[in-house]
């Protein structure tokens, strides 16, 4: 299940985004630049939820897998992150999360729970952008990993037990720790409902 795909050209059309905690506008660099507000959604699509539950009810996170995307930054480093993207008009956070996971990873998932919200600032093309991203937990439905999205360099399944250390951004690592705390109960609920991962 540690399947991985990599784009041959290694390019990324998304600008290098430097995140910082949201603070008042007066405390920021580039305060003279025009400001935009963006909202996105995405999430962690999980495979093997029910299968990670042992006979005694304990949960083995190393048997549960999550799909991540990798993008090259301006220095050529591959940075792993949670799939996400802009919310389209008349689209709910959940619908966006499901669509973006599919577009960026090639696998489809169904939202089972909200995970948390991140908000940060970055500068791109002469604008200061305040971005809010709504994250969710999704159960794997079907599909195979692919890197057809031009903004994605590489996609991979990795064990949930390795998730925190693999994510590049501190705010996403914090969400991953929250997911670690919640996944055992979610896995037990999936097992109790008889929802096995499609193969």
34-63 pLDDT tens trace? 999 999 999 999 999 999 999 999 999 999
Strand (E) positions, the chain?
A: 4-6, 35-47, 65-72, 78-81, 84-86, 107-124, 127-143, 154-159
pLDDT of residue 50: 97
User: 3-state class of 75 per DSSP?
Assistant: coil
What pLDDT is stored for residue 4 in this prediction? 55
Kindly report the CATH number that applies to the domain delimited by 4-17+30-192: 3.90.79.10
Q: Is the separation of the CB atoms in 136 and 94 below 8 Å?
A: yes
Residue-wise pLDDT for 119-163, tens only, equals 999 898 889 999 999 999 999 999 999 978 888 999 999 999 999
For 30, the token pair is 């580039």
Mean pLDDT, the chain, whole residue set: 88
Contact 99, 116 (CB under 8 A): no
- Check residue 199 and give its pLDDT: 72
Q: Is the pLDDT of residue 31 over 80?
A: no
Binned at pLDDT 50, 70 and 90, residue 23 comes out as: very low
Distance, in Å, from the CA atom of 156 to the CA atom of 158, rounded to the nearest integer, reads 6
Query: Where would I find the H helices in 21-144?
Result: 93-105
pTM: 0.82
Long-range CB contact pairs, 51-55, < 8 A, 24+: 51/196, 51/197, 52/187, 53/187, 53/188, 53/190, 53/191
Of 192, 196, 199, the C-alpha closest to 142 is 199
Angstrom distance (rounded) from CA 131 to CA 52: 34
- List all residues 6 or more positions away from 14 whose beta carbon is below 8 Å from its beta carbon: 71, 151
Structure tokens at 16: 């290098």
Q: Are 78 and 70 in contact (CB under 8 A)?
A: yes
Domain ranges of the chain: 4-17+30-192
Average pLDDT over residues 75-100: 96
């Amino acid at each position: 299940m540690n399947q991985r795909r990599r784009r041959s050209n290694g390019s990324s059309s998304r600008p290098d985004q430097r995140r910082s905690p949201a603070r008042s506008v007066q405390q920021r660099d580039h305060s003279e630049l025009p400001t935009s507000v963006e909202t996105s959604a995405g999430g962690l699509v999980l495979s093997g939820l029910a299968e990670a539950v042992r006979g005694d009810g304990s949960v083995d996170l190393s048997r549960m897998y999550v799909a991540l995307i990798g993008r090259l930054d301006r220095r050529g480093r591959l940075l792993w992150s949670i799939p996400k993207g802009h919310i389209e008009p008349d689209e709910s956070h959940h619908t966006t999360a499901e669509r973006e996971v599919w577009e960026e990873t090639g696998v489809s998932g169904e939202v089972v729970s909200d995970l948390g919200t991140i908000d940060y600032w970055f500068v791109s093309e002469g604008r200061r952008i305040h971005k809010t991203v709504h994250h969710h937990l999704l159960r794997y439905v079907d599909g195979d990993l692919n890197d057809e999205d031009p903004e994605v360099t590489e996609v991979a399944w990795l064990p949930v037990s390795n998730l925190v250390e693999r994510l590049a951004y501190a705010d996403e690592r914090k969400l991953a720790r929250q997911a670690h705390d919640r996944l055992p109960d979610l896995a037990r609920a999936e097992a109790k409902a008889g929802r096995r991962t499609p193969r």
